[in-house]
Amino acid sequence: PADVESLGNATWTLLHTMAAYYPDRPAPSQMESMKTFISSFSEHYPCWYCKEDFKKAIEKEPVKVGSRKKLSEWLCRRHNEVNAKLGKEQFDCTKVLERWLNGPPD
Ligand code: FAD
């Protein structure tokens, strides 16, 4: 349905932007709260089949909260898994901060 798409697009925008603004050198409390956020997110995301696949993905590769770059690249890989499932193009994860910290190219 259309709202799975617009919800998805809006959600990726929020998640990638959060990752891009996550600290380079997070404090232990910031690492903990990001882990909690991702885990709560995966419980409550309002698209059940998306959520189930996302949960499986984070069981396979748990969230990396050690730095902005690690978190952003981890999330990029998760998004690429969904892109593959939907037959969308793979995104070059070396460009993820360029895209989400500096904004889309015009
Ligand atoms: P989106 O995929 O929403 O991407 C938005 C923008 O992000 C792109 O324009 C591009 O600039 C950028 N981008 C693309 N790939 C990456 C990447 N790897 N890293 C960083 N930036 C990137 N839909 C389903 O139909 N089935 C599902 O199972 C499903 N699971 C989802 C799970 C999650 C956790 C989320 C958040 C969404 C899920 N969706 C799912 C929605 C789907 O991923 C898309 O959001 C939706 O199809 C709309 O796609 P879009 O073309 O607008 O681009």
**If you take atom 37 of ligand 1, which residue's CA is the nearest one?**
8
Which CATH number applies to 49-106: 1.20.120.310, 1.10.486.10, 1.10.760.10, 3.40.50.1820? Answer: 1.20.120.310
Q: Of 82, 74, 62, which Cα lies nearest the Cα of 22?
A: 74
d(CA 11, CA 9): 5
Domain map of the chain by residue range? 49-106
**If you take atom 36 of ligand 1, which residue's CA is the nearest one?**
8
Q: Is 53 in the pocket of ligand 1 (CB under 6 A)?
A: yes
* pLDDT tens, per residue, the chain with 106 residues: 569 999 999 999 999 999 999 999 999 999 999 999 999 999 999 999 999 999 999 999 999 999 999 999 999 999 999 999 999 999 999 999 999 998 777 6
Cα separation values, 65 from 37, 50, 71, 74, 106, Å: 11, 22, 5, 9, 30
